[in-house]
Amino acid sequence: MASLKEIRNRITSVKSTMQITSAMKMVSAAKLKRAQDAIIQMRPYAEKMHEILGNLSATLDISSNAYAAERPVKKVLIIAVTSNRGLCGGFNNNILKRVNQLVNVDYASSNPSVLCLGKKAKDAYKKGIHYYINDAIAPVEDIFSALTFDNVSTIANDLMNRFVNKEFDKVVVVYNKFINAATQDVITEQILPIIKNEQVEGNKNAEYIFEPSKQEIVEDLIPKSLKIQLFKALLDSNAAENGARMTAMHKATDNANELQKTLTISYNKARQAAITNEILEIVGGAEALNS
């Protein structure tokens, strides 16, 4: 059995850990509220933009648009969206598993490259992985420290230019979609080329007054829609990360609390045993003196 000092040290260590996890849980809860508000406000706008673009493109031939060009897929770019920090359960591992599946199976014959948005993805792929692409595309390593539409637009513009210049024939993004604080879904979404004449929800026969022409509006909407699509994916991932971390820290705090109770019981038992042994030694010594 461990000594009383060892048990006391373990109790102190567990208490310190519990304080840290409890504080991290509260911080994540505060961040989650802001991140959740941001993605909830963005989704209706992104969905309406997608609906309008779908309604327009369904009546137009957009194959001539540079961002809709379909060609033999010889080079694929996979955007892996992870967090910069850990302690969020399986949040990052789920993304890395999906990316590895795409690289090694789905796009194995298409010379895949990986663009890492988040330090955890970069750490996973920067050593000895032939399909890792350097973050020279944009200063994306700390994108989540300044997650704004302008910063995401910089990345999206660079990706669109590289697609037009045929550096990549297809671009997909892998991210965690925020469902609630305890649930995230890993989503694989095609960014480029845009999916033509996609069936969208809503009234496809809706009447619009166009100024200027349909074609000009579509040409202007497509780049903006691509930027919004990427921005929404990052907002989703940011909210999902904070939800996953809050849940993980909540479980860790509960586990630490249970461990503290168990160690306290063990400490009390060991202390009682030590006291009993001392009493027996005193009684035994007294009897020896009397004999």
Domain boundaries of the chain, sorted by first residue: 22-248
The catalytic position among 88, 172, 192, 234 is 88
pLDDT at 246 over 90: yes
Per-residue model confidence (pLDDT) at position 70:
83
The yes-or-no verdict on residue 219 having pLDDT over 70 is: yes
Worst-scoring range by mean pLDDT, 35-49, 122-136, 272-286?
122-136
Q: What integer pLDDT is reported at residue 202 of this predicted model?
A: 47
**Domain covering 22-248, topology:** Pyruvate Kinase; Chain: A, domain 1 (3.40.1380)
The predicted pLDDT at position 232 comes to 93
Which range of 201-210, 255-264, 273-282 scores highest in mean pLDDT? It is 255-264
Q: How much is the pLDDT for 27? A: 92
What's the confidence (pLDDT) of residue 201? 47
**116 part of the active site:** no
Are 56 and 214 in contact, with CB atoms under 8 Å apart? Answer: yes
Q: Which token pair is 180? A: 């609630």
Range picked from 66-80, 173-187, 210-224 for highest mean pLDDT: 173-187
- Count Cα neighbours of 155 within 13 Å in the Cβ-side half-sphere: 26
Q: Is the pLDDT of residue 123 over 90?
A: no
* Positive or negative torsion for Cα 221, 222, 223, 225: positive
pLDDT tier, 144 (very low <50, low <70, confident <90, very high otherwise): confident
Distance (Å, rounded) from C-alpha 75 to C-alpha 164?
A: 13
Residue with tokens 């997650």: 147
Q: What is the mean pLDDT of residues 252-274?
A: 89
Give the mean pLDDT of 148-171: 89
**pLDDT value at residue 200:** 44
Which pLDDT does position 199 carry in this prediction? Answer: 46
Is 0.85 surpassed by the pTM of this model?
A: no
132 confidence band (pLDDT: 50, 70, 90): low
Cα separation of 224 and 229, whole Å?
9
